[in-house]
Amino acid sequence: MQTQLKDRKNANAIRILAMDAVQNANSGHPGAPMGMADIAEVVWREFLRHNPKNAKWANRDRFVLSNGHGSMLLYALLHLTGYDLTLDDIKNFRKLHSKTAGHPEFGYADGIETTTGPLGQGIANAVGFALAEKTLAAQFNKADNAIIDHYTYCFLGDGCLMEGVSHEACSLAGTLGLGKLIVYYDDNGISIDGEVEGWFSDDTAKRFESYNWQVLSVDGHDSEQIRKATEAAKAETKKPTLIICKTVIGLGSPNKQGKEDCHGAPLGVDEIALTRAELGWESSEPFFVPDEIYKAWDCTDKGASEENAWNAQFADYQAKYPTEAAELLRRLAGELPSDFDKVADEFIKSCQDKGESIATRKASQNAIAAFAPQLPEILGGSADLAGSNLTLWKDAKGVQNHADGNYVHYGVREFGMTAIANGVALHGGFIPYTATFLMFMEYARNAVRMSALMKQRVINVYTHDSIGLGEDGPTHQPVEQVASLRNTPNHFTWRPCDTVETAAAWKVALKTQTAPTSLILSRQNLAHQARTAEQIADIEKGAYVLAREQGELNAIIIATGSEVELAMNAYNTLTEQGAGVRVVSMPCAEIFVKQERAYIESVLPSHVRARVAVEAGITDYWYKFVGLDGKIIGMTTFGESAPAKELFAHFGITTEAVVEAVKSLI
């Protein structure tokens, strides 16, 4: 092993940079980069098509490090192959404002395709990349020009495979036959707590074979075996491939390799010196890499040549298929058609003119059906329940049966669905939406957070939004979920009250390029509200005056969703009794608070302290709008099992309660 290690100078450069950076930061995980260095060398130097000088080249292969705690593996690869990641960046590993954060963070440095913090989500993102590649290729490739043709390579570890989200995503990947997804499993048998056989005894090969994957096994330190397995993976076009790589964690460290000691802690100065000797490294200087090794790793010329070849291919495509080429460029740029606003506004106006009193889940389906013909980049899907959350529309085509389709039947996989959608968004060319009951958002919660963190345009359709769900009972009745979503940074939560607000919410969600949106929709029918053209335009500001006071303003009622109808009924009663009350519909509080101060003041005048908020969810969120002097009508407990009307009466979310609350304040 010693002679073999000394001969692996290119891979050893990864080991040197990883252990030095972790030691310098006094924090990190050196074991995985050192153990996977041989796999990484083969994949990155021989197979991965990428251009370090243009990290966003459309037809590049995607690389995902799902075991993101081993981030120094990726940083070393980016640095060595010629990306804009300097040795100083490596030295700043885990330091404030550095490109080299503790886990790879999307947007921090070129070449980082996704943020893989929580284990398991990286492989789910990779499934999303592969799904996007296959679908985009089917939509745009021609018999004489396969303009979209690339692979997704993913590294993962034991922790990723223990997390349930990997089961969800990999099961679906096999069902969909994502043959251009190649995954390398770092089978080192070690986690932070020690040898995993005491808590992870799965037969991983059989598991993935049952998922309809090709499964191969190699010595993760034998370059020829890794090379042949990768070639076999590329030859299998109907199934994704898992390559099980038996490795030694921390390989090269004489006293810590193969042990949990090197998993999540620096090796220590003395052990690093011993490791340098074990590797036959020519210098004791930290971070030193010889020029000949940099030259061996440099992929800039190769990458530029590969991209130039594709650019020539695209020029030919553009000449023969100008319409498709223009559409592909538009979609890859994330831009909406130039007439989108016009089409959307006409649809919103038609909703106002029709005045339908329907469930907002049905209003959402109508909006999807109206926008989808103009937006072929929409790639929707639901975690089962499509007939309940109404996310299928007449012209939807499932990708299971139509490779060029626009709808994914995700099955009961809420977490996997959302993490896959993040990968689809990151790939480019699509606007993904997901769907389930609001209560089951809890399964997907961490992936929703990741789309917000990565600033991705993912739209989440969450229906059955309150105790209005009714007889299914408290396990299915969301109470605290909307407040949780609203408190997520860089995330917009819409709870519309009728068809018009629902259509406007879809319009804004589709236009929001740097944040995800959740649409919170009702099971039950909701009353249509009358509006002027000015009020319709103001919906996009997150909140607006739906009903203005008669005479002097005494009190303000703030409501969302199904409770807007209660607020309007209370308004009518109070106005008849001579009170000066206005109703503010606030479908998206997060957007409202970003408006200019003058507009906020025009909707919620600061001198009016008599304020009542009403929403069939947890009450605490609304104190920011009503203050300690105001009142909130909503939920302070979980729900119960009964018809919706009985539940609203039981929990005191009624017109009468709103009227009494206003009277008590004025």
Across the chain, which has 666 residues, the per-10-residue mean pLDDT values are 73 98 97 98 98 97 98 98 98 97 97 96 98 98 98 98 98 98 97 94 97 98 97 98 98 97 96 97 96 98 98 98 98 98 98 98 98 97 96 95 97 98 98 98 97 98 95 94 98 98 98 98 97 98 98 97 98 97 98 98 97 97 95 97 95 97 96
Residue with tokens 């996007």: 132
Is 476 among the annotated ligand-binding positions?
A: yes
Q: For residues 92 and 33, is the Cβ–Cβ distance under 8 A?
A: no
Comma-separated ranges of CATH 3.40.50.920 domains in the chain? 541-664
Is 8 among the annotated ligand-binding positions?
A: no
Calpha distance 317→437 (Å, rounded): 43
Residues 123-157 as b/e (b if ≥16 CB within 10 A, e otherwise) read: bbbbbbbbbbbbbbbebbbeeebebbebbbbbbbb
Is 159 among the annotated ligand-binding positions?
A: yes
Q: Which residues on neighbouring strands pair with residue 460, listed in sequence order? A: 434, 518
pLDDT at 117: 86
Is 69 among the annotated ligand-binding positions?
A: yes
Is 650 among the annotated ligand-binding positions?
A: no
pLDDT at 482: 97
Is 97 among the annotated ligand-binding positions?
A: no
Report the candidate in 245, 558, 502 with the shortest Cα–Cα distance to residue 369: 502
pLDDT at 4: 72
Range 541-664: architecture per CATH: 3-Layer(aba) Sandwich (3.40)
Is 440 among the annotated ligand-binding positions?
A: yes
pLDDT at 2: 43
Helix (H, G, I), strand (E, B) or coil at 181: strand
Is 427 among the annotated ligand-binding positions?
A: no
Counting every residue written for the chain, the total comes to 666
pLDDT at 367: 98
The DSSP call for residue 627 is T
Q: For residues 420 and 430, is the Cβ–Cβ distance under 8 A?
A: no
Is 117 among the annotated ligand-binding positions?
A: yes
Catalytic-role residue among 307, 414, 565, 615: 414
Is 305 among the annotated ligand-binding positions?
A: no
Q: If one looks up domain 5-303 in CATH, what number appears? A: 3.40.50.970
pTM of the prediction?
A: 0.97
Residue 577 CB neighbour total at 10 angstroms: 11
Is 198 among the annotated ligand-binding positions?
A: no
Is 314 among the annotated ligand-binding positions?
A: no
pLDDT at 183: 98
Active site residue 601: no
Q: If one looks up domain 339-520 in CATH, what number appears? A: 3.40.50.970
The DSSP call for residue 622 is G
Report the candidate in 22, 169, 186, 9 with the shortest Cα–Cα distance to residue 91: 22
Is 361 among the annotated ligand-binding positions?
A: yes
Q: What is the DSSP string of 45-88?
A: III----TT-TT-TTPPEEEESSGGGHHHHHHHHHHHT-S--HH
Is 496 among the annotated ligand-binding positions?
A: no
Helix (H, G, I), strand (E, B) or coil at 157: strand
